[in-house]
Amino acid sequence: MRGIGPMRRYSAFAVAREAARYHSGWERAWRSPEPKKRYDVIIVGAGGHGLATAYYLGKNFGITNVAILEKGWLGGGNTGRNTTIIRSNYLQDPSAAIYEKARSLYETMSQDLNYNVMFSPRGVLMLAQTEHEVRGYKRTAHANLLQGVETEFVSPQRVKELVPIISLDGPRYPVLGGLWQARGGTGRHDAVAWGYARACSDMGMDILQKCEVTGIRQEGGKVVGVDTTKGTIGCDKLGIVVAGHSGVLAAMAGFRLPIESVALQALVSEPIKPCMDIVVMANTVHGYMSQSDKGEMVIGGGADGYNNYTQRGSFHHIEETVRALVETFPMISRLKMLRQWGGIVDMTGDRSPILSKTPVEGMFINCGWGTGGFKAIPGSGWGMAELMAKGSSPLTEEFGLNRFAEGRFVDESVAAGVAH
Amino acid sequence: MLILDCPYCGVTAEETEFHGGGEAHLKRFGPGSSDEDFEGYLFHRENPRGVHFERWRHVNGCGKWFHVARDTATLEVFGSYSAQVTEPPQEIRDAITAKRPGWRWREFA
Ligand SMILES: Cc1cc2nc3c(=O)[nH]c(=O)nc-3n(C[C@H](O)[C@H](O)[C@H](O)COP(=O)(O)OP(=O)(O)OC[C@H]3O[C@@H](n4cnc5c(N)ncnc54)[C@H](O)[C@@H]3O)c2cc1C
Ligand SMILES: [Zn+2]
């Protein structure tokens, strides 16, 4: 297999070179090694957050004796199942800090990773369809101003200019304005996982796919390794980054989390000609839509209302989402839907993530991103790496597990309801 | 789509007629309890991948709360039972054991 040793860079020149030799020279993007006996750091979960954590451990702290363990294939969890909305217009200061850090890292990610993640800052518009939402979004716009996050509350007329296909005066859900973040947008979800994986592998880290963690080994209250389907592997530090499965991993270590796992679904239509060049979110009706580069309308809905690990949700939620969106975008009523799928999202009570130490020394956890963690991947990895390397990080400080006991919630549930 | 039985009015209906109420059989800790117990009661959940006991309400029906035993990894429903109990009754435990030998949930098995 090629690709051991420093990776070849992707470039326009490389494309020309490979075109001239029938594309016979492309290397594998990452190695698939056998596990070593031990690593300095083990990350469980090769989704975006786990891979980004590993990447910044190497890049920012020079820690490269790292393994990333994945029970399935890398990027096969929520990272490869989401509707890829990227924005940072949250209400609370700690949220604005980590999501804006992430958004700004997305701007340069393709160059940084030498991998095209197709970040498309096309703008994100959150519709206000009730008086409460108007007030809520105005408040958020003011908060964002103070936080240095560029957003603005726009009029219905401006909404119509941005989204010509919208019906402003739907009988049930009139559009009363919107919260506009021009620098928000979308990215290619798989490419984010693949780009980080390639960079991690290039730094000498081991990505171990089809390697499920089945137990956590401790000695005297300190983590010493994990049991896996590929044997026991030792480590000094352990990062659990498994989204919907966080409760399962916490149970292995003997503690519980303030998290419930539920299904969140999305769907895409048949491809059509370009008709909407921004992302539109309608939180009152739990519907979100953007158009992919292929022309499909990408639609996300609300989360199901019961604990679920099956990666499939209930059909009536799809029906509710589509019914509401058809009122706001009448032209989609005749579209055929191509695919529908679900992911298991990890919901906290305050709808904010957990980036934290745990009751087990040396064991850290990054979870609770729920329905909206794709946008946060680089910022989360940045903060989590610092937390694991140094024991604390300004980005993660407010997101510790202790906030529940102490009643210091980072309450985003009022601000956004269920939003991606 | 789940299909549930309401143990009060006897109706069998699909999930849209009901509303989920989260983990069942929580032990309530209030004034006088330790901070740790209070935090656990308020926030910590089993959230298992497998056998789960939970509360549901027949909102678009008789309005009663009841309990359901269900597998979160397969969506199989083992049975529903009265809300007036603090532990799953024996016949529900037997029904689970028949299909998931060796199951555990908190201190119940
Ligand atoms: C339908 C849908 C739409 C969404 N839309 C958006 C959106 O528009 N914008 C946005 O910002 N966010 C969105 N999200 C949320 C976003 O997808 C997630 O918050 C984010 O991808 C979580 O990334 P992660 O790396 O934490 O988890 P994941 O990508 O799920 O990775 C966790 C990995 O851990 C692995 N794992 C689990 N258990 C074990 C074990 N025992 N051993 C080894 N590996 C294990 C899993 O296989 C998985 O690959 C959406 C989610 C869904 C489901
Ligand atoms: Zn009933």
Per-residue burial over A297-320, b if 16 or more Cβ lie within 10 Å, else e, is bbbbbbbbbbbbbebbbbeebbeb
Per-residue burial over A359-390, b if 16 or more Cβ lie within 10 Å, else e, is ebebbbbbbbbbbbbbbbbbbbbbbbbbbbbe
DSSP 8-state secondary structure symbol assigned to residue A110: H
Digit-coded pLDDT (tens) for B42-101: 999 999 999 999 999 999 999 999 999 999 999 999 999 999 999 999 999 999 999 999
Digit-coded pLDDT (tens) for A6-65: 788 999 999 999 999 999 999 999 999 999 999 999 999 999 999 999 999 999 999 999
Q: What is the pLDDT of residue A420?
A: 60
Query: How far apart are the C-alpha atoms of A106 and A362, rounded to whole Å?
Result: 29
Residues 6 or more apart from A407 whose CB is under 8 A from it?
Answer: none
Please state, in angstroms and as integers, the Cα–Cα distance from residue A311 to each residue in A77, A159, A216, following that order.
Answer: 9, 35, 25
Q: Which of A247, A258, A315 sits opposite B43 (nearest CB)?
A: A258
Query: How far apart are the C-alpha atoms of A371 and A259, rounded to whole Å?
Result: 13
Mutant choice from B15, B49, B54, B56 vs A, greatest count of A C-beta within 10 A: B49
| Whole-number CA gyration radius for chain A | 21
Cβ neighbours, 10 Å, residue A254: 11
**Chain-wide mean pLDDT for chain A?**
95
Please state, in angstroms and as integers, the Cα–Cα distance from residue B71 to each residue in B49, B75, B83, following that order.
Answer: 8, 5, 19
Which domains can be identified in chain B, with CATH numbers?
Answer: 3-28+38-99 (3.30.2270.10)
Give yes or no for residue A140 having a pLDDT over 90.
yes
Q: What is the pLDDT of residue A166?
A: 96
B27 lies within 8 A of chain A by CB: no
Q: Residue A340 phi/psi, 5° resolution? A: -145, 145
Return the higher-pLDDT residue of A413 and B72: B72
Q: Which ligand is nearest to the CA of A215?
A: 1
What's the whole-number mean pLDDT along residues A77-101?
Answer: 97
Q: What is the pLDDT of residue A414?
A: 61
User: Which residue in the block uniquely carries the two structure tokens 């596990």?
Assistant: A35
Q: Which ligand is nearest to the CA of B80?
A: 2
A405 lies within 8 A of chain B by CB: yes
A374 lines ligand 1 (CB under 6 A): yes
From chain B, the residues in CB contact with A309 under 8 A are: 49, 72-73
Residue type for B9, please?
Answer: C
* CA–centroid distance, residue A46 to ligand 1 (Å): 9
Give yes or no for residue A387 having a pLDDT over 60.
yes
Q: Which of B1, B43, B47 sits opposite A247 (nearest CB)?
A: B47
Digit-coded pLDDT (tens) for A233-267: 999 999 999 999 999 999 999 999 999 999 999 99
A300 lines ligand 1 (CB under 6 A): yes
Judge: B49–A309 Cβ closer than 8 Å, yes or no: yes
From chain B, the residues in CB contact with A308 under 8 A are: 72, 75
For chain A, the residue count is: 420
Which domains can be identified in chain A, with CATH numbers?
Answer: 134-183+260-348 (3.30.9.10)
Q: Count CB pairs under 8 A between chains A and B.
A: 64
Q: What is the pLDDT of residue A3?
A: 44
- The H or E element spanning position A356 is strand A354-357
Q: What is the pLDDT of residue A322?
A: 92
What's the whole-number mean pLDDT along residues A109-131?
Answer: 97
Judge: B42–A404 Cβ closer than 8 Å, yes or no: yes
Min Cα–Cα distance to chain B from A353, Å: 14
B40 lies within 8 A of chain A by CB: yes
User: Which residue in the block uniquely carries the two structure tokens 């529940």?
Assistant: A404
Digit-coded pLDDT (tens) for A150-194: 999 999 999 999 999 999 998 888 999 999 999 999 999 999 999
pTM of this structure = 0.97
Digit-coded pLDDT (tens) for A337-350: 999 999 999 999 99
| Whole-number CA gyration radius for chain B | 14
The ligand 1 atom at the shortest distance from the C-alpha of residue A241 is 26
Q: What is the pLDDT of residue A1?
A: 37
Min Cα–Cα distance to chain B from A403, Å: 10
Prediction ipTM score: 0.96
Judge: A314–B40 Cβ closer than 8 Å, yes or no: no
Q: What is the pLDDT of residue A2?
A: 42
Judge: A316–B73 Cβ closer than 8 Å, yes or no: no
Residues 6 or more apart from A267 whose CB is under 8 A from it?
Answer: A299, A301, A318, A322, A337, A338, A339, A340, A341
Query: How far apart are the C-alpha atoms of A150 and A144, rounded to whole Å?
Result: 7
Residue of B nearest to A409 (CA): B43
Question: What residues are paired with A41 via a beta bridge?
Answer: A66, A237
Query: How far apart are the C-alpha atoms of A62 and A44, rounded to whole Å?
Result: 19
Q: What is the pLDDT of residue A286?
A: 81
A242 lines ligand 1 (CB under 6 A): yes
Digit-coded pLDDT (tens) for A280-324: 999 887 889 999 999 999 999 888 899 999 999 999 999 999 988
A345 lines ligand 1 (CB under 6 A): yes
Judge: B20–A261 Cβ closer than 8 Å, yes or no: no
Q: Which ligand is nearest to the CA of B18?
A: 2
Q: Which of B36, B47, B75 sits opposite A260 (nearest CB)?
A: B47
Give yes or no for residue A135 having a pLDDT over 50.
yes
Residue of B nearest to A308 (CA): B72
Min Cα–Cα distance to chain B from A101, Å: 29
Min Cα–Cα distance to chain A from B90, Å: 23
